[in-house]
């Protein structure tokens, strides 16, 4: 049976261009973030607490907001009020950048999927640090862990990626409970090369040298389109560099589930990435004890249960939220309680 969001809100949002719908939703949640009574009303949808502890952090429940929905950290109090157990903002880059030309988000309702080629449109590390600082001083900082996901500015050559990530890391670390190195978005040319053994070891080393007092948990977000060999190397490098967790996975470049005449360039998310992401989690769990945050195709209670059964400690949702609305948080929470 359809929930209230699917019956009343989604038809309205889906009647307008995807990116316009996105900006409208973020604007509403941003406004709500400054309005106590609305936050109070949103809280009435919250699931019961289901505390989890991972890499030294206390999570109110294991269901998080995936990166990319609130790239600029505009609505943290509202996401927390809706019941997310943790919130990941970003991807943030060292420099502000507009991303790729529009249109750049496409819906595939029959497949319960999205394709995006946004290209890290964001306000940049300086502006976002300033915004987070203001929120902290306002006393409205949420009570759940905040992850900050960082990536490479489009204009920085891949050979200088380390300095670009380091700038964002140093600018934003004080606001982050954990920091994610995004080396897996398909929309910044060359970015996925940073999943290669030498490049990833170099990047983790560069950040690791400056990650002291206090040391922030570092998390690596990987693509679903990796060979067994590539995955093995990533796991080994994450282990030697004391990476706190792996986020598996980002969007896929495998578009075989999308009708060829409607296909678009970019990363595919939602239902079609579910199985691929889950099998990658199983592969990691078979080889390592490194904690896993699952992302990819969590659209309902069953797909969330599948990730926990595969060995994930936490899950994150993006496309599921677009198709199912915030009721999905409670649906998953009730199913795993």
Ligand X SMILES: Cc1cc2nc3c(=O)[nH]c(=O)nc-3n(C[C@H](O)[C@H](O)[C@H](O)COP(=O)(O)O)c2cc1C
Q: Active-site positions?
A: 185
Of these, 295, 307, 310, 333, which contacts ligand X (CB under 6 A)? 295
Backbone phi and psi for residue 71, each to the nearest 5 degrees, phi listed first: -60, -35
Find the binder of ligand X among 46, 72, 149, 211 (CB under 6 A). 149
d(CA 263, CA 60): 39
Which residue in 114, 222, 223, 280 binds ligand X (CB under 6 A)?
114
Q: Is residue 288 at the binding interface for ligand X, with CB under 6 A as the rule?
A: no
- Give me the least distance between CB of 7 and ligand X, in Å please: 22
Of 278, 79, 92, nearest to 171 by C-alpha is 92
Q: What does the radius of gyration of the chain's CA atoms come to, in whole angstroms?
A: 18
Residue 116 binds ligand X, judged by CB under 6 A: yes
Distance, first Cα to last Cα, the chain: 21
Residue closer to ligand X, measured from CB, 38 or 253: 253
- Contact region with ligand X (CB under 6 A), list: 194-202, 233-241, 266-274, 327-335: 266-274
Closest CA to 55 of 303, 292, 298, 316: 292
Nearer to ligand X, 25 or 140 (CB): 25
Of the two residues 34 and 126, which places its CB atom closer to ligand X in the complex?
126
Instruction: Give the DSSP letter string of 84-138.
Output: -SEEEEEEE-SS-B--SPSP-EEEEGGGTEEEE-----B--HHHHHHHHHHHHHH
318 forms part of the interface with ligand X (CB under 6 A): yes
Q: Which of 120, 313, 295, 298 is nearest to 223 (CA)?
A: 295
3-state secondary structure of 45: coil
Q: Is 296 in the site for ligand X (CB under 6 A)?
A: yes
Nearer to ligand X, 91 or 288 (CB): 91
Residue 260 — φ and ψ, nearest 5°? Answer: -55, -35
Residue nearest to ligand X (CB): 68
H/E run at residue 228: helix 228-240
Kindly tell me which of 33 and 269 has the beta carbon lying closer to ligand X. Answer: 269
Q: Number of helices (H) and strands (E), helices first, in the chain?
A: 13, 13
> Could you say which residues in the range 204-223 bind ligand X, by CB under 6 A?
221
Q: What is the DSSP string of 140-168?
A: ---SS-EEEEE---TTS-GGGHHHHHHHH
Candidate residues 54, 129, 218, 298; the one interacting with ligand X per rule CB under 6 A = 298
The residue from 66, 74, 128, 223 that contacts ligand X (CB under 6 A) is 66
Q: Does 185 bind ligand X (CB under 6 A)?
A: yes
Residues that bind ligand X (CB under 6 A): 66-68, 71, 90-91, 105, 114, 116, 118, 120, 149, 182, 185, 221, 250-251, 269-270, 273, 295-298, 317-320
């Amino acid at each position: 049976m359809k929930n209230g969001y699917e019956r009343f809100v989604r038809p309205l949002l889906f009647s307008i261009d995807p990116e316009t719908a996105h900006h409208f939703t973020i604007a509403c949640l941003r406004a709500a973030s400054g309005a106590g009574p609305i936050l109070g009303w949103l809280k009435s949808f919250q699931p019961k607490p289901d505390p989890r502890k991972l890499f030294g952090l206390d999570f109110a429940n294991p269901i998080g907001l995936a990166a990319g929905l609130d790239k600029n950290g505009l609505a943290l109090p509202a996401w927390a009020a809706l019941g997310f157990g943790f919130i990941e903002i970003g991807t943030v880059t060292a420099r502000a950048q507009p991303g790729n030309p529009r249109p750049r988000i496409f819906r595939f309702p029959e497949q319960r999927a999205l394709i995006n080629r946004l290209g890290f449109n964001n306000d940049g590390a300086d502006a976002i640090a300033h915004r987070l600082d203001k929120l902290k001083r306002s006393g409205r900082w949420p009570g759940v862990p905040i992850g900050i996901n960082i990536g490479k500015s489009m204009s920085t050559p891949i050979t200088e990626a380390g300095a670009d990530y380091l700038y964002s890391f140093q600018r934003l670390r004080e606001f982050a409970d954990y920091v994610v190195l995004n080396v897996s978005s398909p929309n910044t040319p060359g970015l996925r090369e940073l999943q290669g053994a030498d490049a990833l070891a170099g990047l983790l080393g560069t950040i690791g040298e400056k990650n002291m007092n206090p040391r922030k948990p570092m998390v690596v977000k990987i693509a679903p389109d990796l060979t067994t060999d590539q995955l093995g190397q990533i796991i080994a490098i994450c282990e030697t560099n004391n990476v706190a967790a792996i986020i598996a996975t980002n969007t896929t470049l495998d578009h075989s589930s999308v009708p060829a005449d409607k296909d678009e360039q970019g990363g595919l998310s939602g239902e079609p990435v579910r199985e691929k992401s889950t099998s990658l989690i199983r592969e990691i769990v078979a080889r390592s004890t490194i904690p896993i945050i699952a992302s990819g195709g969590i659209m309902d209670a069953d797909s969330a249960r599948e990730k926990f059964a595969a060995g994930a400690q936490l899950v994150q949702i993006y496309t599921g939220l677009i198709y199912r609305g915030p009721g999905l948080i409670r649906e998953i929470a009730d199913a795993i309680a």
